[in-house]
Amino acid sequence: MKIRPADGLLVAALAAVVLLPNLGGPPLFDEDEPRNAACSLAMRASGDWVVPTLNGRLRVEKPVLVNWLHLAGFATAGVNETGARIGSALLTLGTALLTWRIAATIFRPDVGLWAGIVMATCLWTGIAGRAATPDAPLAFFTTLAVWLFVRATRSAGPAGLRWRDGPVRLTPAAAAWIGAACGLAMLTKGPVGLLLPLAGLGLFAWWQAVVDPGRDGPALSRAADAAVAAWQGVRPLMIVAAAVAVAAPWYAAVTLRTEGAWLREFLFVHNAGRFLSPMEGHSGSTFLYYPAVILVGLFPWSMAAALIGRRAYTVVRSSADSTPGMRLTLAWLAAWVVPLSLAGTKLPGYVWPAYPALACVAGLFVADWIRAVDRVADGWMRWAWGLLTLTGLGLGIGLPLAMQQFAPGGEWLGLVGLVPIAGGIAAWAGQSLHSRRAAAISWAATACGTVAIIVAAGPGACGHAGGTRHLLRRLPADGIDQPIVTYRAPASATFYAGLVTRDATVVALEDPDEVAAFVQDHPETPVVIDSRWEKLVTARLPAHYALLRAVTVLPESRGLVLWGPTEPSPGPRLADTPEPSPRR
């Protein structure tokens, strides 16, 4: 069977349906999106593409590649939410296509199609793939490294991959290309962009060498010999050298420009520190956190999670043509999930680079089930359709209740539950009519429809009546010459305030006296305040300052207020004008 370009077009089309509609409609959400975008906005205003800053302070949490993506997006789609997110969306579409090609190569073309569909339509792809964060580029570049590895080690003959014939052997050129992809991942998220992909490839190469039928002797001896063979075959020194060659110029430049402060804090606080202990309240169970995250993130394909896991176990224990490919996907998965489960700080997005491996395993299960390779799964798949239908009922009931509590007016979002209800019924009917393919197609259509509606309409429904973007509608659409002060406000205040100041100057202060002193020096400057401290700050503002607007910011349901002058004075006058239009 040959890999068909039409399969890739279908995967790309489904990914586009999930990732692109209403991409710029919802405001920047949570803390990470606006922090990253505000940092990029400051880079754009200053013309400094090397040193990341936020509110005039050094930003040490993330390397710079995500900011470069934003700057490219601002140049092509405007300085707005679409510009901040378009790079992530396009790279995520690329990740789905890479997943298709990897699975088609290490398994079969039909497996590749279903793996690409799973990757394109699962819930976490819809969430993280549309976010202005480093998660999407990290997933893309690490998946690219795996694809380059697969491409370099596959067999040209009909027998499939030469991994079955013995240890993996990379050429120096192939190792260098893999290292270059890891170097871009290092520019996205730091050392994990090199260490974890290299660990996965090394684990797979060692596993292949251990099971090499030509290797004999005691178990410990074979394991040691296999480790040497894996080291020689993967060429880790070449991969590391190429990765460093790609990433080092920026790391060296930012280190010199900041006298070592950026590199020191990034490595010791935001890498070693996050691994050793929980930060910012992000912790979880070592054994349960990421399995639970994956079950939610892989929705609705996780309805058959037990069967997918059972199929993976059966294949890896066999000597089938698909066994080497299963070893690769399991090594790839373990390289991300195991070390990050041991880390003190845990976040759902940390294991997203493992989702292409999960999609490959799920794709093999779906393709084999359609072929009736495992007839035992037939009866259990009816439980999957039942769970899908029950999930739709849960969404139909739970979402309106949640909207009524946190975002009144968005109760209509519960209608999305009709899609999995209809999909579960259609899949059951297809299987009952002895058409597993029809049931699987219903499953895929349900995934695409449910996730697309949730990610395209959900954030807008949650934030339709408020948010920082709405708060700053009181400011002139063509921008103001004064800086904007924020007092303990969320990161979104920095981004949206930066859009309406002509030089993107936002001053974040945490002392009421500092706010008063700044306003005295800049008598027309607006002030954005967390409403919990409104009285504390406004008692120090001039008499001509008044409340201009108040909103609620989700998901924390925290209040935010805008204060500013109400009397005529030199400089731009605050007026109730439409929301600021994007500036190119």
**Which residue do the tokens 């500092």 mark?**
514
- Of 95, 38, 93, 27, nearest to 71 by C-alpha is 38
**Could you give the 3-state DSSP secondary structure of residue 395?**
helix
Burial 364-390 (b: 16+ CB within 10 A, else e): bbbbbbbeeeeeebeeebeebbebbbe
Q: How far apart are CA 107 and CA 105, in angstroms?
A: 6
Residues whose CB falls within 8 Å of the CB of residue 224, separated by 6 or more in sequence, listed in order: none
Q: Position 303: which residue type?
A: M
DSSP bridge partners of 480: 501
Q: How far apart are CA 412 and CA 394, in angstroms?
A: 14
Q: How far apart are CA 497 and CA 474, in angstroms?
A: 11
Give the tokens for residue 196.
Answer: 């974890």
57 φ/ψ angles, rounded to the nearest 5 degrees:
-110, 155
Task: Identify whether 565 is preceded by a cis peptide bond (ω within 30 of 0).
Answer: no
Q: Pairing relation of β-strands 527-530 and 484-487?
A: parallel
Q: Assess contact for 523 and 70: CB atoms under 8 A.
A: no
Q: Which helix (H) or strand (E) holds 201?
A: helix 192-210
Q: Which helix (H) or strand (E) holds 202?
A: helix 192-210
- The helix-helix angle for 436-462 and 418-432 (nearest 10°) equals 180
Rg of the chain over Cα atoms, rounded to whole angstroms, equals: 26
Give the tokens for residue 59.
Answer: 């930003």
Give the per-residue pLDDT at 474.
Answer: 77
Stretches in the chain below the pLDDT threshold 70: 155-166, 463-466, 504, 555-556, 567-584
Q: Assess contact for 96 and 119: CB atoms under 8 A.
A: yes
Work out the burial of residue 217: count CB atoms within 10 Å of its CB; fewer than 13 is exposed, 13-18 middle, 19 or more buried: exposed
Q: Position 177: which residue type?
A: W
Task: Identify whether 300 is preceded by a cis peptide bond (ω within 30 of 0).
Answer: yes
Q: How far apart are CA 29 and CA 554, in angstroms?
A: 8
**Could you give the 3-state DSSP secondary structure of residue 281?**
coil
Q: How far apart are CA 226 and CA 244, in angstroms?
A: 27
DSSP bridge partners of 53: 58
Work out the burial of residue 58: count CB atoms within 10 Å of its CB; fewer than 13 is exposed, 13-18 middle, 19 or more buried: middle
- Of 485, 575, 547, 494, nearest to 522 by C-alpha is 485
CB atoms within 10 A of CB 520: 12
Q: How far apart are CA 243 and CA 499, in angstroms?
A: 36
Residues whose CB falls within 8 Å of the CB of residue 162, separated by 6 or more in sequence, listed in order: 153, 154, 155
Work out the burial of residue 29: count CB atoms within 10 Å of its CB; fewer than 13 is exposed, 13-18 middle, 19 or more buried: buried
Q: Position 13: which residue type?
A: A
Give the per-residue pLDDT at 567.
Answer: 66
- Of 334, 172, 329, nearest to 240 by C-alpha is 172
CB atoms within 10 A of CB 497: 30
568 φ/ψ angles, rounded to the nearest 5 degrees:
-60, 140
Chain centre distance of CA 529 = 30
CB atoms within 10 A of CB 448: 22
Torsion sign over Cα 139, 141, 143, 145: negative
Q: How far is CA 61 from CA 8, 28, 138, in A?
A: 36, 18, 15
DSSP bridge partners of 562: 528, 549
Q: Pairing relation of β-strands 527-530 and 53-54?
A: unpaired
